[in-house]
């Protein structure tokens, strides 16, 4: 299932993808003002939103990712270079963004910004603002770099098969889709003989800043879930307190991350693996974590990458009647910074 959605105020395309009716869905570059529309469409198509992905930190519109997380408990995903305060999951070149029945390959394509990514899905590539239809994303702010963009486009995107469909994050002329071969031949910005020529071309553009820039950039940098509310309820452990609980028999550490994140970044020694995607069944009556808490009286100590999934999990577990649910503030990121032991 594939839907290309348009926000006319910012000329932004957002993409909703899923492998089947009734299954998991993912959205790319949602726009804040359109969140109600997405939620309605998800209901109509009987889809369960599990990931909201931004190709980069946008300057021309506010991302809908945080609102979607708050309303659906999906997880937010951005590249590891992002300046956004908290995203649930950060990805890098070569990673995969997976949902039920589907997988997006992550391509790091800096240039428009230093946190710009493209996502390859079978016959199509979501190019963000790296490659537009008959254009390319500007490179004159947010650590943009025309030379890096030349490299991203010529040495990554144009190396994809000619027939690969190109779905950009914006179009200002009404085009909806192109192909790699078409852009190679007809995109005026790509008719250059060298990186130097491309840099010169981009340097001459002198564009006005986007209208929304002063509002959108700071807003898009502060999209993290307010973990302090969880802490006020007494459901959060600082890394220091979590370190003291390590190895104690009264605490079960529970890792909510995906297998690929565990393999890449390691995990806390002795922690159980219960991925966030299966949280609901694990915390329900009869579920693994519910039974563990009830049978042993142990504190269920959730953690994830940055503390966002675990903050949502602790709230859900409390609602499901697991009074001994807690989480580690700041997640494995904070744990590592405090030199907490990690095993691969």
Least gap, CB of 58 to Fe ion (angstroms) = 5
Least gap, CB of 208 to Fe ion (angstroms) = 15
Least gap, CB of 295 to Fe ion (angstroms) = 51
Burial class (CB in 10 A: 0-12, 13-18, 19+), 284: middle
* Contact call for residue 7 and Fe ion (CB under 5 A): no
Asked if 256 and 309 touch (Cβ cutoff 8 Å), the reply is yes
Based on CB atoms, which residue is closest to Fe ion, 100 or 140?
140
User: What gap in Å lies between CA 145 and CA 163, rounded to an integer?
Assistant: 28
User: What gap in Å lies between CA 130 and CA 126, rounded to an integer?
Assistant: 9
Based on CB atoms, which residue is closest to Fe ion, 27 or 283?
27
Least gap, CB of 168 to Fe ion (angstroms) = 10
Based on CB atoms, which residue is closest to Fe ion, 127 or 227?
127
Based on CB atoms, which residue is closest to Fe ion, 207 or 295?
207
User: What gap in Å lies between CA 191 and CA 189, rounded to an integer?
Assistant: 6
Continuous segment of H or E residues that includes residue 184 = helix 180-186
Question: Under rule CB under 5 A, how many of the chain's residues touch Fe ion?
Answer: 1
Calculate helix-pair angle for 195-203, 146-155, nearest 10 degrees: 130
For the segment 94-133, give every residue that binds Fe ion (CB under 5 A): 129
Least gap, CB of 96 to Fe ion (angstroms) = 23
Which residue minimizes CB distance to Fe ion?
129
User: What gap in Å lies between CA 21 and CA 167, rounded to an integer?
Assistant: 22
Based on CB atoms, which residue is closest to Fe ion, 214 or 263?
214
Neighbours of 159 (CB within 10 A): 10
Least gap, CB of 219 to Fe ion (angstroms) = 14
Based on CB atoms, which residue is closest to Fe ion, 149 or 315?
149
| Cα distances (Å, whole numbers) of residue 153 to 108, 109, 140 | 11, 7, 17
User: What gap in Å lies between CA 310 and CA 276, rounded to an integer?
Assistant: 8
Question: Which residues here bind Fe ion, judged by CB under 5 A?
Answer: 129
């Amino acid at each position: 299932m594939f839907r290309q959605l348009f926000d006319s105020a910012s000329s932004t395309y957002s993409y909703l993808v899923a492998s089947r009716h009734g299954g998991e869905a993912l959205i790319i570059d949602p726009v804040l003002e359109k969140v109600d529309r997405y939620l309605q469409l998800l209901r109509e198509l009987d889809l369960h939103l599990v990931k909201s992905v931004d190709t980069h930190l946008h300057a021309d519109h506010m991302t809908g990712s945080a609102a979607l997380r708050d309303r659906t408990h999906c997880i937010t995903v951005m590249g590891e270079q992002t300046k956004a305060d908290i995203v649930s999951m950060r990805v890098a070149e070569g990673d995969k963004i997976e949902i039920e029945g589907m997988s997006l390959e992550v391509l790091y394509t800096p240039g428009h910004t230093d946190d710009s990514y493209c996502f390859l899905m079978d016959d199509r590539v979501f190019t963000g603002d790296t490659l537009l239809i008959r254009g390319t994303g500007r490179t004159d702010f947010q650590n943009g770099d025309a030379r890096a963009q030349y490299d991203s486009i010529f040495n990554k995107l144009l190396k994809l098969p000619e027939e690969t469909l190109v779905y950009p994050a914006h179009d200002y002329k009404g085009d909806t889709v192109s192909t790699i071969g078409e852009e190679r031949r007809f995109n005026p910005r790509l008719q250059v003989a060298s990186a130097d020529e491309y840099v010169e071309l981009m340097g001459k553009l002198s564009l006005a800043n986007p209208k929304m820039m002063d509002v959108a950039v700071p807003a898009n940098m502060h999209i993290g879930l307010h973990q302090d509310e969880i802490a006020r309820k007494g459901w959060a452990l600082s890394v220091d307190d979590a370190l003291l609980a390590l190895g104690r028999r009264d605490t079960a550490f529970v890792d909510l991350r995906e297998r690929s994140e565990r393999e890449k970044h390691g995990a806390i020694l002795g922690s159980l693996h219960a991925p966030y995607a299966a949280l609901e069944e694990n915390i329900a009556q009869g579920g693994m974590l519910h039974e563990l808490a009830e049978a042993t009286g142990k504190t269920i100590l959730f953690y994830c990458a940055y503390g966002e999934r675990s903050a949502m999990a602790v709230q859900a577990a409390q609602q499901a009647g697991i009074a001994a649910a807690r989480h580690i503030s700041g997640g494995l990121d904070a744990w590592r910074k405090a030199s907490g032991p990690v095993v691969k």
